[in-house]
Structures are given as C-alpha cells and as structure tokens.
Amino acid sequence: MTHDLTLPRARHQDARRSLAERAVLDPHRPRFHFTAPGGWLNDPNGLAHWNGVYHLFYQYNPLAAAHHRIHWGHATSRDLINWTDEPVALVPGTDGPDRDGCWSGVLVDDGGTPTLVYSGRHGERELPCVATGSPDLRSWHKDPANPVIAAPPEGDLTAFRDHCVWRENGKWRQLVGSGIRGVGGTAFLYESEDLRGWRYVGPLLTGDASTGTAADLDWTGTMWECVDLFRIDGADILAFSAWDEGATHYPLYWTGQYEGDTFTPRELHRLDYGQRYFYAPQSTRDALGRRIMFGWLQEGRDEDAMAEAGWCGVMSLPRVVTLGADGRLVQAPVPELARLRREAVHTAAFVVTDGTYVRLDDVAGDQLDIETTLRLAPGAAARLVVRESVDGSERTVIEVSRAADSTTGTLRLHREASSLDPSVDSEPRYGELPLNGDGAVDLRVLVDHSALEIFANGLALAARIYPTRPDALGVGIAAVGAVAMERLDAWQMTAVFDGPRPLWP
C-alpha cells in the first residue's frame, strides 16, 4: 500500500476552519504535552507556583502559526499535567514600547502584587517593561512608566532582551540577556528598589564567541537569550540559550559561583542534546522546593506546513531538575506525569542477541511512556525503536552506546527514517552519556505524536518527528554487542487535550 502524503495537508488547507479547529485535526499535534489552542507558541514565560496554582505563560500569536506580534498566553494547573486556558495576559500595545510584541520575561511577587517583567518590542528594539496583575493573575495592567530601562548599556550590542529577576538583600536584581559584538554573549546585571528604577551594575558574565563555532557542542554564541540564574542543592547555575544572527542554537548552562556582582564559571554543559528542540528554558522553584523547568520544543517542519496545520510549537513536559553527584544537572519529567499512564505492559528481562532486532508486539502507539534499564558491555550499543511503520519504512531510533574504554557513552537520536516526508528535519542529535562502571543506562522515552523527549541517566534530549504513515506505531529493540534489557515498562498515555480550545480564552 502506498501512503498518500498529500492527505493530511489537503485536510488542513480548509481556510474556513479556525486555527484551533485545524490544529486538532493534525495527527502531529501532541495530546499530553501543552500546546497553544492554535497559532504560534514559543518560550515558556512567567513560571510560578502561586497560592497552590502553577502558572505557565508563554509566547503566543493567536492570529497565525507564525512568529509575529507576540502576546503572552496563559494557562494554569494544580498538578502540572492538566491545564486550564486563562485569558491572554499581555497583548501588544496600539502604541508604546511593546507595540510590536511582548517578548519573554518572568513573574515575581512584589509584596503580594503579581508583577511581570518582560521585553517590550518596538521596531527592532526590545526594552524592559513591567505589568501588574489582579490577585487571580487573570488581568494585567501595563505600567505607565514603561519601558522601565530606557536604553541598553552603552556599547555595540547584538541584542538586549529577556529577564531573570529575584530579590536579594532587600533589593531587586535583574539579568537581561545580551551580547557584546566582537566578544560574546552576556548577561547584564541591574539593581532596583521598586522594579521601576534600575541601576546598571555591569556584566555578570561574558562568553567568548571566538572560541569554537556553531558546529561545536558548547559554542556560547554571540547573544544569550533567556538567561536563568538559580541555586540548586548549594550550586549556582547560569542557564541561557545560545543565539547567533537570528539562529536559535541550543540551551547551555554554566555551573559556578554567583557572589557579589559576578558569576565565576566552573563547567559548561548542554542543557538538552536536542539543540533548538529544547530552547529558551525557564525554571521556577515550586512550593515543594522543586526546581521545575519547561522549554520550547520548536518545529522541525517548514513554515508552509505550520501555517496549514494551524498551530506550531510545543511546551516540553515539566521537568524536575536536580544536581547529580558529578555536579551536572539531572532532569526527569515531574512524577505527576505518571497519573496519565494507562494499560501497563511489563516485559521480562532478556538478553538482546547481538545483531538481532526484537519487535515488542504488545507495546505500540503514538502516546507512550517507556522506561527501560539496559546494561551495555564495553563497546556495545542498544537501539530502541519507536514510531515504526509495519513495513519498517518509517522508524525513529534512540541509541545508547558504551565506548570500549567502558566509562563513557553516547546518546544518539537517528531521525533519517523518522518520516517519509522529505521536507521535515531529519538531522541526528547526540551527546555524551556518562556511564558507571557497570554500563547501566536508565532510559525513559516519551512519545507524544510529533513530540519526543528522551532521558538517559538523567541527561535529556528532546526532538520532533513527523511520521506520515498511520501505522507508524511500533516499538522494538536491537543490540550491537552484549546488551541485557533488565526491565522494560511501557504505558499508553491518556490525552489531556481533546477538541478545539478557544484562541482567546
């Protein structure tokens, strides 16, 4: 049987349907990840756990599946899993400093008053703005003093936007992402008594863009977007997204020490190996003391396909971030996610014979949570296959391998056969996977239509895949060398979104 590639597009092309109606018809739309009701979604903003309610704001264009005149969408949840759409929080002004968009920012508690600090965009320029909220965080009032910083610091800068704001020693402190042309990305530090009048302190830390290139795994770019400074288990983390000339590369973090007006870096790591598929992350500390992080899973299909689908952009699953014994961040989906699990399948341990492929016939679907523990001999590799069509022409391969020297490994995502649609991104993704001497890999794979999130020994890799075949639902495992599968548990994941949602709740 040949699959008609034109079918999904033709169905979406009906311009009489609203964006939200077209969105729900799209087979690539996730069902348990947060998405906007329709139109465009990018960065998570204003994350907060406020009076027992989680607030997720996000960069939103309710008018088209394109990045233009960005609003702030808003959703709330009591469990980080089920979301209620709230009224759009910020709309670009008819005039004023945010007339071309309300770009990324944060929510802070100003003595009981919910207050947003965001980047107002006018022309090609972004400047810090403030808005205060009603006690239920449903209506927002922009401050007449906006922009609250009239101009970036002097110098030849690549950009000036996005905010991290916190209270310290009775004052507010703020980081604004930027880049010094010819030098590198940076985070400018400011101080304030009242969130309105800001004193420039200086660069907290500046990267060196002359070291490496975008092809490297840890080039820090010419501008740092969405800087996020937090302390976790006594360690200071400065996270940012490396940007260069309009290209959104990947999220990175420095470990180090924040003291006084500087951050002394120790180590630099990728936050997620999916590169731009987990971009612009933002985190908050919830009432349980957990560091909760979301990132933006960008699309891997072209602008026409997004426009036809009526929606684009996926919010990652909320992740709990902790500090590992090696000083690196460890990430896992919030445990609340397990509430969506249905129809458990437990596979008994077995040795995957070298060179064989075992199709797991009782595990199949496009909404799955798969947990497995694999043990790799030195030089061995295990390949977990998901979204495989019956004829094998479409398949997505998650590979974990162990080097012959036994303590290092690699996590790799192969997408070259993920889709028969030649227009979608099929580039591989990979990153280093530290292993203990026993070669054990705890692997968790969440499949949600086009959204894929992988966690291997606490390291994350998010990506998007667009299988065209309705039967691309299969799961299997292959081995090269000696691989033992010590357990595999899989669940169907129930949907939290069903049916069209209002674009303007």
Q: Return the active site residues.
A: 43
* 438 Rama class: left (phi>0) / alpha (psi -120 to 50) / beta: alpha
Q: 115, 119, 367, 401: which one contacts ligand DQQ (CB under 6 A)?
A: 119
Amino acid identity for residue 281 in this structure: P
Binding mask 139-158 for ligand DQQ (x = CB under 6 A): --------------------
Instruction: Label residue 283 exposed, middle or buried (CB < 10 Å: 0-12, 13-18, 19+).
Output: buried
Smallest distance from ligand DQQ to CB 161, Å: 5
CA–CA distances in Å: residue 206 to residues 182, 211, 264, 473:
11, 12, 10, 46
Nearer to ligand DQQ by C-beta: 247 or 404? 247
282 binds ligand DQQ (CB under 6 A): no
Assess 161 for contact with ligand DQQ (CB under 6 A). yes
Closest separation between CB of residue 210 and ligand DQQ, Å? 22
Question: What character string, x for contact with ligand DQQ (CB under 6 A) and - otherwise, covers 345-384?
Answer: ----------------------------------------
For the bound state, the minimum distance from the C-beta of residue 282 to ligand DQQ, rounded and expressed in Å, comes to 10
3-state secondary structure of 219: coil
Taking the least distance from each CB to ligand DQQ, the nearer of 127 and 447 is 127
Closer to ligand DQQ by Cβ: residue 25 or 214: 214
Question: Which residue, 35 or 396, has its beta carbon nearer to ligand DQQ?
Answer: 35
Question: For residue 180, how many C-alpha atoms fall within 13 Å in the half-sphere facing its CB?
Answer: 16
Which of 481, 332, 356 has the alpha carbon at shortest distance from 409? 481
- Count interface residues toward ligand DQQ (CB under 6 A): 14
- Closer by beta carbon to ligand DQQ, 77 or else 104: 104
Residues contacting 473, CB < 8 A, separation 6+? 364, 365, 366, 387, 388
- DSSP annotation of 465 reads -
Output 32 or 278, the one with its CB closest to ligand DQQ: 278
Q: Which residues pair with 254 in a beta bridge?
A: 238, 268
Distance CA 306, CA 310 (A): 6
Toward ligand DQQ, which CB reaches closer, 71 or 469? Answer: 71
Q: Which of 32, 83, 103, 311 binds ligand DQQ (CB under 6 A)?
A: 103
Residue closer to ligand DQQ, measured from CB, 32 or 296: 296
Among 104, 146, 283, 372, binds ligand DQQ (CB under 6 A): 104
In the three-class reduction of DSSP (H, G, I as helix; E, B as strand; rest coil), residue 21 is classed as helix
Distance between CA atoms of 407 and 76, rounded to whole angstroms? Answer: 43
Contact code string over 181-220 relative to ligand DQQ, x by CB under 6 A: ----------------------------------------
Residues 31-70 that bind ligand DQQ (CB under 6 A): 42-43, 59, 70
Give me the least distance between CB of 106 and ligand DQQ, in Å please. Answer: 11
Please state, in angstroms and as integers, the Cα–Cα distance from residue 420 to each residue in 304, 414, 424, following that order.
17, 14, 9
Task: Return the structure tokens found at 165.
Answer: 């704001």
Pairing of strands 125-133, 329-333: unpaired
Min separation Cβ 225 and ligand DQQ, Å:
4
- Binding to ligand DQQ (CB under 6 A) within 216-275 occurs at 225-226, 248
Both tokens of 330, joined, read 């460890």
Whole-number minimum distance, CB 177 to ligand DQQ, in Å? 7
Query: Smallest gap, in angstroms, from Cβ of residue 102 to ligand DQQ?
Result: 9
Please report how close the Cβ of residue 303 comes to ligand DQQ at its closest, in angstroms.
Answer: 16
| Conformational region of residue 123, where left means phi above 0, alpha means psi within -120 to 50, and beta covers everything else | left
User: Which of 36, 89, 106, 280 is close enough to bind ligand DQQ by CB under 6 A?
Assistant: 280
Select from 26, 162, 228, 244 the one that contacts ligand DQQ (CB under 6 A): 162
CB of 414 to ligand DQQ, least distance (A): 26
What distances in angstroms separate CA 53 from CA 33, 150, 192, one per listed residue? 18, 34, 28
Cβ closest to ligand DQQ, residue 248 vs residue 450: 248
Report the alpha-carbon distance of residue 172 to residue 182 in Å, rounded.
30
Give the whole-angstrom CA distance, residue 144 versus residue 147.
Answer: 8
Burial of 270 (0-12, 13-18, 19+ CB in 10 A): buried
Contact 323, 488 (CB under 8 A): no
- Taking every pair of Cα atoms in the chain, the longest distance, rounded to a whole number of angstroms, is 69
Residues in contact with ligand DQQ by the rule CB under 6 A: 42-43, 59, 70, 103-104, 119, 161-162, 225-226, 248, 279-280
